[in-house]
Amino acid sequence: MEQHTIYNQPSTAGKFGDFGGRFVPETLMSALHELEETYNSVKSDPDFLAELNDLQKNYNGRETPLTFANRLTDHYGKGKIYLKREDLNHTGAHKMNNTLGQILLAKRLGKTRIIAETGAGQHGVATATVCAKFGLECTVYMGEVDIERQEMNVFRMKMLGAKVVPVTSGSKTLKDATNEAIRDWVTNVENTHYIIGSVVGPHPYPMIVRDFQSIIGEETKTQINNFEGRNPDYIIACVGGGSNAIGIFYPFINNPEVKLIGIEAGGYGIDTDMHCATLTLGRPGVFQGMNTYLLQDSEGQISEVHSISAGLDYPGVGPEHSFLKELNRVQYSSITDDEALDAALQLSRLEGILPALESSHALAHLEYLMPNTNKDDIVVINLSGRGDKDLNTFINKIKF
Amino acid sequence: MSKIKNTIEQINNDGKKALSVFLTSGFPTIDKFLDNTNRIIEAGADLIELGMPFSDPLADGGVIQQSSQIALQNGITQKQTFQFAEQIKKHNKTPLILMGYANTILQYGKEQFEQDAINAGVDGLIIPDVPLEEFDDFFFPFSTKLDKILLTTPTSSKKRIIELDQKSEGFLYCVSVSGTTGVREGFDNKVTQNLETTYKALSKNKMLVGFGISTPENIKQLSPFADGFIVGSAVIKSLQNESIDETINLIKSLKQACVE
């Protein structure tokens, strides 16, 4: 009977409860089935896992540290705060965990061309990186607005040999880049693998990306138990599509004593139209291959959204997050642009770590959480990326 | 019997191919839409596919994407699209199919959507982001009053084509090439071979070929492997012009190729 309480998602039809699924044109169905079959055959294949582990260790630099943030802890004077250092991955964010896994899948699928979408550019860089390492052709779709605010990452992708295609439709951000990547895939599916950068899109992507990102939570579990002899009381992560969050949450889902908190981008504030608080204010619908919470109007047209952080600037969210919200297993709330900027500066000053704007949303939630913690509480923040890529935004927004 | 299937069969029985024309609801303007549509039917369209504009049309190429954007900027709503459908059906016997994306139906409410579609005289639905795998769940609790038309593509296996044929109602929409909607330069042998294989595999449905059909030459080339043709982007592109005369000439020339 106990088995009924064990979390085991998605179903074989790719559903997390009612969420998820495969809402894509027929052209892609054979590729999705092939991807699922290949993934299911390699995920417990010792050769595949050995190759992936070797790359994670000797190329990506895992395991990443779990750092005790002593000055940040002193600042709040309450529970102990640890940082899971995904900023120390090769190329500067958690995105590599997924692209390394998927490039090995692409090789086994016999695909010669890789496409990806990118918002902040971190997934684009991580994809361009693995394509260079494995000698595969790489095309990255990126919204024009994001190209402007993340120009360093555009240049990095080009140095790595990728073709960066500017997307000028819609809001010219991550959602539109994803549309264009899917259209490319529909056209070139025979020789092309689409490396989706988050736990979004049609099944089996939300499952595959989650599994590859779960290394974050697995390491965290071992590390915190080594330091403290127990699981943490709270884990906080930012949620755009939600891959870093699922990555650190997933291994703890069956540990009900661990409170999981997902932080969305509140933009100018959730009382305005300019935010990305999908789970907080959206409602379910079908978009980009999945049934999930969406920001949309009464007619079902997808909203144009805003966040200072390109990586969170997305009107949808991974379907597993929608499911975890309805299960009440994860609490979701939001942080504004300004709160995130303050948190970025605070971590830089107190810990000597310059965080990505995405991760700064998770950090900013400490202002709300810490006053309610006790001295013996343990809080882990997933520091999903480093802030070097955001210098343009910091320079424009922070005045000394 | 399905009115859509019946119409195609009658045309085929006369030794002709059916011509289905896709039009984005509310494009190029709300005011011009009905008049344009009536003239296009008069010029020879045997079926009309009325596109329900969606902000993120994954299966569409640039031309239809832009027409959807413009229609949305024009203030098109689903209620208005149903009104258009009703007015088209008032003046014409032409079967009318709504084409669009899953979220439009979900947000309108499935039951209400079906009811309003039936009341407007709509005959069928094409929803390209609802594939076989999602079909039963998505179309629950729809009745059988509207034909639910499925798409087959060059990547569909023989086994799958047979399944799609069994499930599809009205006709089977055969996508000529992998890709989004839009004009193409021509079709190579691989395309014709694939169409032939698909065409021969069908036992239940008539097969209409779409994606990349823009000229009488396309129709003549693919005629041996189709019961009819669907034209969309080429028509939408011509509608961007000031005068509709060019569109009417295009429809007439495509119709001519269908009846030769």
The DSSP annotation for A327-374 comes to: HTSEEEEEEEHHHHHHHHHHHHHHHS--B-HHHHHHHHTHHHHGGG--
The proportion of chain B whose per-residue pLDDT surpasses 70, expressed as a percent, equals 100
User: Which amino acid, residue A86?
Assistant: E
Give yes or no for residue A3 having a pLDDT over 90. Answer: no
Q: Structure tokens of B33?
A: 């839409």
Written as one letter, the residue type at B211 is F
User: Does the CB of A47 have a partner CB in chain B at under 8 Å?
Assistant: no
In angstroms, rounded to a whole number, what is the distance separating the alpha carbons of residues B97 and A118? 36
Structure tokens at A188: 């070139």
Looking at residue A38, the DSSP 8-state letter turns out to be H
Q: Which residues of A touch B137 (CB under 8 A)?
A: 21
How far the first Cα of chain A sits from its last, in Å, is: 61
Residue A167: strand pairing partners: A143
pLDDT digits (tens, 9 = 90+) for A125-160: 999 999 999 999 999 999 999 998 888 899 999 999
Query: Which of B103, B156, B180 is opposite residue A285, by nearest beta carbon?
Result: B103
Residues A266-283 have a mean pLDDT of 97
User: What pLDDT is attached to residue B186?
Assistant: 86
Note whether A300 contacts B178, CB cutoff 8 Å.
no
Q: Which residues contact A327 (CB under 8 A, 6 or more apart)?
A: A17
Whether residues A289 and B56 touch (CB distance < 8 A) is answered with no
Q: CA-CA distance, B161 to B197, in Å (whole number)? A: 10
Percent of chain A past pLDDT 70, that is, above it, reads 99
Q: Are A172 and A146 in contact (CB under 8 A)?
A: yes
Domains in chain B with CATH codes: 3-259 (3.20.20.70)
The pLDDT of A315-336, averaged and rounded, is: 98
User: Could you tell me if A159 lies within 8 Å of chain B, comparing CB atoms?
Assistant: no
Which residue type is seen at B97? I
**Which pLDDT tens digit goes with each residue over A294-323?**
999 999 999 999 999 989 999 999 999 999
B residues 35-54 lying closer than 8 A (beta carbon) to A: 54
Q: Which residues of A touch B167 (CB under 8 A)?
A: none
The pLDDT of residue A5: 62
Torsions phi, psi for B205 (to 5 deg): -105, 155
Q: How far is CA B149 from each of CA A356, B127, B171, rounded to the nearest angstrom?
A: 47, 8, 6
Nearest C-alpha in A relative to B75:
A299
What's the mean pLDDT when you consider all of chain B? 97
| Token code pair at residue A400 | 């000394």
Gap between the Cα atoms of A145 and A303, Å rounded:
16
For A167-224, what is each residue's pLDDT tens digit? 998 889 999 999 999 999 999 999 999 999 999 999 999 999 999 999 999 999 999 9
Residue A2: pLDDT above 50?
A: no
A26, B164: Cβ pair inside 8 Å? yes
Beta bridge partners of B230: B20
Contact B170, B2 (CB under 8 A): yes
